[in-house]
Amino acid sequence: MNVPVWNPAVEFMEREALERLQLVQLRKTVEQALKTPFYRRRLGEAGLTRPEDITSLRDLRSIPYTTKDDLRAAYPHGLLAVDLEQAIRLHTSSGTTGTPTVIYHTRRDIDHWTELVARCITATGASARDVFQNMTNYGLFTGGLGLHYGAERVGMLVIPASSGNTSRQIQLMKNFQTTVVHATPSYLLHLHASLASEGVDLEQLALRKAFIGAEPHSEQTRRKIEELFGIAAYNSYGLSEMNGPGVAFECVHQTGLHLWEDAYLLEVVDPRTLRPCAEEETGEIVLTTLQRQATPLLRYRTRDLSCWMGGHCPCGRGHRRLARIKGRSDDMLIINGVNVFPSQIEDVLMKTPEVGTNYLIQIEKRGSLDRLTVKTEIYAKLFTGDARTLEDLRERLGEALRSAILVKPVVELHEPGSLPVSEGKAKRVVDLRPAF
């Protein structure tokens, strides 16, 4: 079979061998989990005290779920399964409000994550001959470093451009004849719209492929990006709790995302009843790490909605495919690729005495990017009539929100009593973006 492959032995492993490997790794993961205070208690309560208690993959169902709240409660060390000395990196969730979450990595964890990303990159047909411009944020966000390491391992020439600064991105693409980029779909649309004003023609660029991820998008959006740039765009899925990018990726056939089943055990469940979903039935993605040493996670509820695709991919890989992400089973918003919970915004507003308790969060498309507007009410008793005080308040709120959610919002001030009241089930989030 003539498709580009990074690790043929694993990627074309027979189903039976793959499941044997999964069982071995699941036991190892339980063994590793039992070294953490969190899982010792949680698994103990479920009567699971030894890795040998797991005798088949079906026993996975006897393991309790892990949620984001569990990760928050275990912050910062409750889920650490190795000595800190062995950990060489951590990634922590964004935000200065609320409790963050943290994932630690040993050298082997980073090495393995890098291997997964190298597989993803290679599966799209990209190779050492490519010039790769990584347009996602470096730092605590896993998208930047995750793709960076994988691309270096493949041997691509990596331009660690990070996110933003469109004018510089375009210059880099032109000067170094970038062939592959990694970005959010909305950023690529924005970038395309900026080409003309930068005086750069598509002909002056050498772009062939884009890896797009970090925000849910439709097949139409993908096709639009492909047509505008005249390239192929590949869907990428990952989440920081599962390392980051590299969990599932499209191959050259672009028919769903191969999930690396030697590294992750995937279940799809009904988010309300937790009943397992059938193939092609949409539910919540639940993932178990199979290779991670420092922060093993068992049956982690991702809150992302999708389904297993049936059938086989023409590429011949045995690793089954996930359909594109269809949404969330919680209230998390994804704004220009950044995850934002409405509660983070509420926290900031409630700490600001000059604004009332009613608020409204509005998200809309402005050009190809998302725009977040936070509407608040001024507190009547603190109003003096001085507009400078109000404008200071607007600026202060904008800065506090930006630092909490890493997205700069437009802050609006409104009359007391003009927004939905805080009691009951007031609709606080208005998402005006077209459905994907």
Partner 1 sequence: MAEQVNIFIDNKPGRLNAVTAILRDHDIDIRAMTIADHRDYGVAKLLVNDPHAAQRALAEHGFAAALQSVLAVAIADRPGGLHALLEILAQHAMNVQDAYGFVAVPGQRAIWCMEVAEPAAAASLIAAAGLEVLDDSELYRP
Euclidean distance between CA atoms 22 and 31, whole angstroms = 14
The smaller minimum CB distance to partner 1, of residues 230 and 417, is found at: 417
Nearest to 397 by CA among 419, 383, 380, 413: 413
Q: How far is the CB of 430 from partner 1 (least distance, A)?
A: 15
Q: Which is nearer to partner 1, 54 or 378 (CB)?
A: 378
- Least Cβ distance, residue 186 to partner 1 (angstroms): 25
Question: Residue 212 or residue 419: which is nearer to partner 1 going by CB?
Answer: 419
Least distance (Å) from partner 1 to the CB of residue 292? 47
* Comparison of 108 and 408: residue with beta carbon closer to partner 1: 408
- Measured from the CB atom, is 272 or 366 closer to partner 1? 366
Contact positions vs partner 1 (CB under 8 A): 375, 378-380, 383-387, 390-391, 412-418
Residue for token pair 């049936």: 310
Q: How far is the C-alpha of 327 from the C-alpha of 66, rounded, in Å? A: 20
Quick one: 118 or 419, whose CB is closer to partner 1? 419
Of residues 98 and 417, the one with the C-beta less far from partner 1: 417
φ/ψ of 340, rounded to 5, equals -135, 130
Asked if 25 and 3 touch (Cβ cutoff 8 Å), the reply is no
**Nearer Cβ to partner 1, position 328 or 414?**
414
Judge whether 404 and 100 are in contact, CB under 8 Å: no
| DSSP state at residue 369 | E
Question: Nearest distance from residue 108's CB to partner 1, in Å?
Answer: 53
User: Exposure of 270 by Cβ count < 10 A (0-12 exposed, 13-18 middle, 19+ buried)?
Assistant: middle
Q: How near is the Cβ of 382 to partner 1 at its closest, in Å?
A: 8
Task: Tell the smallest beta-carbon distance from residue 48 to partner 1 (Å).
Answer: 55
Least distance between partner 1 and beta carbon 234 (Å) = 41
CB of 386 to partner 1, least distance (A): 8
Can you tell me the distance from the alpha carbon of 387 to that of 306, in angstroms, rounded to the nearest whole number? 48
Mapped onto helix, strand or coil, the DSSP state of residue 117 is: helix
One-letter amino acid of 95: G
Which helix (H) or strand (E) covers residue 237, if one does? strand 232-239
Rounded to whole angstroms, the Cα distance separating 136 from 144 reads: 5
Please check whether residue 332 is in contact with residue 360, taking contact to mean a CB–CB distance below 8 angstroms.
Answer: no
Rounded Cα gap, residues 231 and 109, in angstroms: 33
Q: What is the rounded CA–CA span in Å between residue 330 and residue 254?
A: 28
